[in-house]
Amino acid sequence: MGDSIKARAPMRISFGGGGTDVPPFCEEYGGCVLNSAIAKYAYVTLSYRTEGIMLKSLDHILGVQYNQKHDLIQDESIKYNMAKAAIKHYLQDDKGVEISFFLDVIYQSGLGSSSAAFVALIRALDTGEKLGLTKKKVAEEAWRLEREELGNIGGKQDQYASAFGGLNFIEFSADRVDINPLRVDDKTALDLENQTLLFHYKPRSSSGSVLENQIRNVKEKKKETIDALLRSKEVAKEMKKKLLDGDVNGIGELLDEAWKQKKKFSSTISNPDLDKLYQNLKAKGALGGKISGAGGGGYMYVMCEENKTIDVYHYLTQAGFQPSFLKIDLRGVVTWI
């Protein structure tokens, strides 16, 4: 076995517009998202071997082995299905390969972890096979394989945030994705990190059921859902202006509006316990917050008043959560030997 190729791709949170990147809404109305890549990662290690295909993960260290590419049949293992799909498309000839991967967070986090794993895996194969894929092409291919080939329901923002890194305003239409990197000054970026807390709320079974409900509401032209998604687009645009103006508190206040609109996408996004927690967090000094990803569980984040972050932090720890400060990833997907 020769040198190992390692890849790391960040996960993300979206401040505004999340949900408007999910078809068919973005195809009919257009979508936009203000998001940030964060310092939580999916890691992939790829090594060539004389024969056979070995797939490993942190929670399945013995892995699974196949003789060659045509043996890679999709099954109930979502993680391994991602690897199988990428290998089938990008591993040239019938080379032997060993691929291992692990995540910084638990599965179904709401942070785009599966998309980050796909981005890291495709970039590792791109490096090993010398395919010359651009970051945008890596994101496009990760989206195509995850959403179209494997049929995993979701939006379009995750793969682009993971591939590019940083703070981005991303616009979506039926046939294109436009990435607008946002260059903010150091003070704004540091304030954003210092006033934002991220924590795991509770496990969720799947994002698909939540999004299926949202998609059904859009297809049925349910007015409350459509109006909420349209308002979410405007909130994302307003957040972009606040960010470029350095108004971090203003973003936090708009995040509260974004959460109110998000809960209208589907009745399964929130619940009474979460609503009570949110109100308690606001009473302690949170300006706004929301569940990351589709909703129903996973990670949550809150933006706090400048001098109230520690109060919110202590409340969360006393309530049994493990909050951490936001750390923005600026590099996107990276590989090394």
Stretch among 80-84, 233-237, 332-336 having the lowest mean pLDDT: 80-84
Q: How many CA atoms lie within 13 A of 95 on its CB side?
A: 19
pLDDT tens track for 310-329: 999 999 999 999 999 999 99
**If you ran DSSP here, which 8-state letter would residue 328 be given?**
B
pLDDT tens track for 162-179: 999 999 999 999 989 999
What are the structure tokens assigned to 203, written together? 């496990």
Is the pTM higher than 0.75? yes
Average pLDDT, the chain: 91
CB–CB of 327/193 below 8 Å? yes
Res. 57 pLDDT band, cuts 50 70 90:
confident
Res. 230 pLDDT band, cuts 50 70 90:
very high
What is the mean predicted confidence (pLDDT) over 132-138? 97
What are the structure tokens assigned to 5, written together? 């190729």
Q: Which of 170, 259, 173, 269 is nearest to 214 (CA)?
A: 269
Q: Which domains does the chain have, with CATH numbers?
A: 4-182+330-336 (3.30.230.10), 186-325 (3.30.70.890)
**CA dist., res. 181 & res. 164, Å (int):** 9
Percent with pLDDT over 90 in the chain: 70
- What residues are labeled active site? 158
- Amino acid at the residue 190: L
